[in-house]
Every structure is written in structure tokens, then in C-alpha cells.
Amino acid sequence: DAGITQSPRHKVTETGTPVTLRCHQTENHRYMYWYRQDPGHGLRLIHYSYGVKDTDKGEVSDGYSVSRSKTEDFLLTLESATSSQTSVYFCAITEGTTGNTIYFGEGSWLTVV
């Protein structure tokens, strides 16, 4: 158990509304990641963070923003949700400064209608 909690776990929202997903970790990991997983595409990196206020874009960052104001929290925001953002979102961490094993939260299922 890597001590990762995601909220909400399930959400239905309307097109055009903002949505924020929260990832909370309890073990002071430096690196945190947001992925989305879709059939036929596997897991794709949206954004990642390498420290407080240090974030960078991943492979599919368009339409998403992130913030990390505290070590333990990494927020993913969909500024104006679209149906193409219906997906399952996984937060992840890597352990230590050079840890090369990635651990995932339980996922947040988002449906945009």
C-alpha cells in the first residue's frame, strides 16, 4: 500500500463544467503523476510533479491543468470538461528520489455527459 487516496472515486458531470480530481499521499513521496486509461490506448501520462509547485506536461496534457501546493496533494483540473475526457484517471507515485517503481491509486471514474 503506497498510501494514495483519490477523490472523488466516481463522478458524472456535464460538458463545459470544471472538474477537479484530488490525489492525496501520506508518505512524503516527491514524484506524483496523473494518468488516464482508455480502451485501445492504455495508460497515458497527463501531467507529473517533481516537487511542490514543480509540475510538467505529459503526453496528453491538453485540456488539463495541475497544481501541487503541498507535498501530499496533487490536483488535476479539467477547466471545461468535454466528452472526450470521459475516462478513468489514476494518480501515481514513485518512491524516493530515484525510485523506479510506480504505484497507483485506486482510480477516479469520470463521465462527462
Partner 1 sequence: RKEVEQDPGPFNVPEGATVAFNCTYSNSASQSFFWYRQDCRKEPKLLMSVYSSGNEDGRFTAQLNRASQYISLLIRDSKLSDSATYLCVVNIMKNYGQNFVFGPGTRLSVLP
Q: Considering only 13-21, 61-69, 70-78, 103-111, which stretch makes contact with partner 1 by CB under 8 A?
A: 103-111
Q: Which of 14, 40, 62, 113 binds partner 1 (CB under 8 A)?
A: 40
Number of residues counted as binding partner 1 (CB under 8 A): 22
Between residues 20 and 102, which has the closer beta carbon with respect to partner 1? Answer: 102
Q: Which of 34, 48, 64, 74 binds partner 1 (CB under 8 A)?
A: 48
Across-strand partners of 74?
Answer: 23
Q: Is 72 in the site for partner 1 (CB under 8 A)?
A: no
Between residues 33 and 64, which has the closer beta carbon with respect to partner 1? Answer: 33
Query: For the chain, what is the total number of helices (H) and then of strands (E)?
Result: 0, 11
Give the integer Cα–Cα distance in Å for 105 and 20. 16
Q: Is 27 in the site for partner 1 (CB under 8 A)?
A: no
C-alpha cell at 95: 518512491
Q: Is 1 in the site for partner 1 (CB under 8 A)?
A: no
C-alpha cell at 16: 463545459
Backbone angles phi, psi at 8, to 5 degrees: -70, 165
How many angstroms separate the Cα of 97 from the Cα of each of 41, 43, 51?
Answer: 29, 23, 10
